[in-house]
Amino acid sequence: MTEDDPDDLERFVAAQAPVYAQALGELQAGRKRSHWMWFVFPQLQGLGHSDMARHFGIASLDQARAYLRHPVLGPRLVDCTKAVLAHGERSLGAIFGAPDDMKFGSSMTLFAHAADGDPSVFRDALGLFCNGREDQATLRLLGIAG
C-alpha cells in the first residue's frame, strides 16, 4: 500500500489493463479461455494457495468495499458479473471450468457482503448458479455464520 493507493488496488488495475477486453469478451461468449480469474473475480485471501491467489487475494471486507467503490474496478466487476448472468442456462463449470467455477462462487459471496446496500448482481449470480448458497469457506474467513 502506498499513499497514492491506500487500499492496495492498483495491482488489479495493472493486471487487468492488457486483458480486460479479452476477459469480458470471453464472458460474453460464455466460455473463459485464458488466465485472468484471480484479478477479474478476486476472492478472499486465504482461499487460494498459489502465488497468484496470494498476490491478488482480497485482505478484508473493507478492501472488498474499496474495490467496489474504485472507479474502474467496481464497474468492471459488475459488468463481468452481468456477462456471466447472461448465460444462466449454462453451468459455472461450462463457463469457467474447474476450479475457476468455485472461485466465481467465492468471489460472488465476498462481494455480495461487501456491496452492503446493493448486492443484487452478486446475489443474482449466487441465486442463479449456486442455488442461492454462499461459499462457506469465504463466510468462515469473514467471520460470518453460514
What is the reported pLDDT for 6?
Answer: 78
List, for residues 35-65, the tens digit of each pLDDT value: 999 999 999 999 988 999 999 999 999 999 9
* Residue 100 placed within a domain: yes
Q: What's at 31, amino acid-wise?
A: R
CB 18 within 8 A of CB 73: no
* Residue 132 placed within a domain: yes
What is the reported pLDDT for 2?
Answer: 64
What is the reported pLDDT for 119?
Answer: 62
List the domain range (segments joined by +) for residue 98: 10-142
* Residue 18 placed within a domain: yes
Q: 44 pairs with which residues across the strands?
A: 58
List, for residues 88-98, the tens digit of each pLDDT value: 999 999 999 99
What is the reported pLDDT for 5?
Answer: 74
Q: How far apart are CA 85 and CA 79, in angstroms?
A: 10
What is the reported pLDDT for 14?
Answer: 98
Q: How far apart are CA 94 and CA 117, in angstroms?
A: 31
Q: How far apart are CA 28 and CA 135, in angstroms?
A: 24
Q: How far apart are CA 129 and CA 91, in angstroms?
A: 7
Give 7's contacts (C-beta < 8 A, 6+ positions apart).
Answer: 1, 63, 66, 67, 70
* Residue 2 placed within a domain: no
Name which of 6-20, 36-50, 51-65, 109-123 the model is least confident about. 109-123
What is the reported pLDDT for 4?
Answer: 73
Number of structural domains the chain divides into: 1
CATH of the domain at 94: 1.25.40.380
Give 19's contacts (C-beta < 8 A, 6+ positions apart).
Answer: 34, 36
Mean pLDDT of the chain: 94
Summarize the confidence of residues 111-118 as an average pLDDT: 87
Q: Which three cell numbers stand for residue 3?
A: 499513499
DSSP state, residue 4: S
